[in-house]
Amino acid sequence: MKSFIFLSVLLTFTQKSFCSILTDTISNETMTSSDRQGRQFPFYSLGRIKNVPCIGTNGLAGTCQIKGECATFGGYASGTCSALTRQAVCCVYSGTCGGTSNTNANVTYFQNSGYPSPYNGGGTCSFTVVPQDSSICQLRIDFTAFTLSQPDTNGNCIVDNMQVTGGGTRFPTMCGDNNGQHIYIPFSGTSPITVSISTTAAMSFPRVWNLQLSQISCTSAYQAPAGCLQYFTGTTGDVYSFNYGVAANPAMNAMGLPGTRQLALSNYGICIQNAATYCSITYSLPATEPYAFTLTSDVTTIAPAMLGTAAVGAQGTACTTDFLVIPNPVGIAADRFCGAGLGATTSNTLPFVLYYVTDAIEMGDVANRGFHLQYVQNSCPIPSGK
């Protein structure tokens, strides 16, 4: 009789009550085998779902959360994220102008109004990221999609621009095409960071942006070293200056010649994680891109076959306006490089880092694109006798 009464009571639970019990039984720790002994109902053996990063079925990054919690905080479910229960979903958060990140989310997307449709422009659109707690040290911004109007002929972002305020480091003003780029901004304590994109309605242009905003823990292996605006972790990879592109800037200078794609007043570090058993790094240019290293000079006056070669590059004291620093290059006396070409260059100085500097005067520099470097880390030599 007792069993019948208990079963009757159980069957009177509403769906809402069941979800409440399910949520209440989820804790930050997985139940031990002894905890599970004697449990009569499968939902009691669920362990708690930790709010860890996940990738949704739509390919976007999210946070693993209980479905009801995700909806309550304004996210949307994109697939499940736990083998324990289908109530655990990969919750994706996104926002647009005037929005603020959810403190329950590791990742948030900042999108233009109407995304993925383009935005014609007008006004300033800002999004604020509040660190989840004091254990968060950095904000990583991935430019999943980013197209604003090009800079003027001197590389100044006049018509459109993106700025980051509130962080613990200076961020260069950005515009143009930056799909696939990323940056790291350190939080200043628990103060928020605001990303603002300003556009000019007078210029009709299809702007699009979708920025992945990821909060990085102070103990995370993915935290960038201090002073690194960009941080790469592969043994091979590609590094681009912001707004690099194979086509020239459509803006024309006073002489009717195309301006630079390089963004003005850049001054930042690009770091590459030194992998175990690798002792040096080599930088080279892609063979199919003749403009892959065009920092200074009038490239329209250089024979196409010569573009990209060391013969039309410059080094050392010849590089005072726009240049790239490769510390202690092997066999080369200077560490500054500019001009319209770069030969394969190796550095065995640790940590692996590049420094990029530009000014805001490009009258003598025509149709420069910036740089696209390919890097390869080289294995340490095997000691003799082994």
Alpha-carbon span 113 to 109, nearest angstrom: 12
Mean predicted confidence (pLDDT) in 18-30: 33
Give pLDDT tens digits for 62-80: 999 999 999 999 999 999 9
pLDDT for res 86:
84
Instruction: Say if residues 165 and 128 touch (Cβ distance below 8 Å).
Output: no
Mean predicted confidence (pLDDT) in 37-42: 34
pLDDT for res 338:
98
Decide if pLDDT at 82 tops 90.
Answer: no
Mean model confidence pLDDT for the chain: 88
Mean predicted confidence (pLDDT) in 324-338: 98
Q: How confident is the model at residue 3 (pLDDT cuts 50, 70, 90)?
A: very low
Give me the residue label for tokens 């692996």. Answer: 352
Q: How confident is the model at residue 10 (pLDDT cuts 50, 70, 90)?
A: very low
3-state secondary structure of 30: coil
Alpha-carbon span 21 to 9, nearest angstrom: 14
Alpha-carbon span 198 to 34, nearest angstrom: 58
H-run or E-run covering 125: strand 123-129
- Percent of the chain whose pLDDT exceeds 90: 78
pLDDT for res 85:
84
Instruction: Say if residues 221 and 202 touch (Cβ distance below 8 Å).
Output: no
pLDDT for res 386:
58
Name, in order, each residue with C-beta under 8 angstroms of 43's C-beta and a sequence gap of 6 or more.
18, 21, 22, 25, 85
Decide if pLDDT at 37 tops 50.
Answer: no
CA end-to-end span of the chain, whole Å?
A: 79
Domains, the chain, in order of start with CATH, read 96-220 (2.60.120.290), 224-385 (2.60.120.290)
pLDDT for res 115:
96
Decide if pLDDT at 340 tops 90.
Answer: yes
Q: What are the residues facing 140 on neighbouring strands? A: 184, 214
Mean predicted confidence (pLDDT) in 27-33: 35
Mean predicted confidence (pLDDT) in 287-309: 96
pLDDT for res 23:
34
Alpha-carbon span 64 to 106, nearest angstrom: 9
Q: What is the DSSP letter of 12?
A: T
Alpha-carbon span 235 to 286, nearest angstrom: 17
Q: How confident is the model at residue 48 (pLDDT cuts 50, 70, 90)?
A: low
Mean predicted confidence (pLDDT) in 188-207: 95
Backbone phi and psi for residue 348, each to the nearest 5 degrees, phi listed first: -110, 20
CB atoms within 10 A of CB 143: 20
Q: What is the DSSP letter of 43?
A: G
Paired sense of beta strands 76-80 and 53-55, if any: unpaired
Give me the residue label for tokens 């613990």. Answer: 168
Task: List helix spans (H) across 31-133.
Answer: 33-36, 67-72
Give me the residue label for tokens 């200076």. Answer: 170
pLDDT for res 46:
41
Give pLDDT tens digits for 117-147: 999 999 999 999 999 999 999 999 999 999 9
pLDDT for res 32:
38
User: What does the radius of gyration of the chain's CA atoms come to, in whole angstroms?
Assistant: 26
Q: What is the DSSP letter of 224?
A: P
What does pTM read for this prediction?
Answer: 0.85
pLDDT for res 51:
81
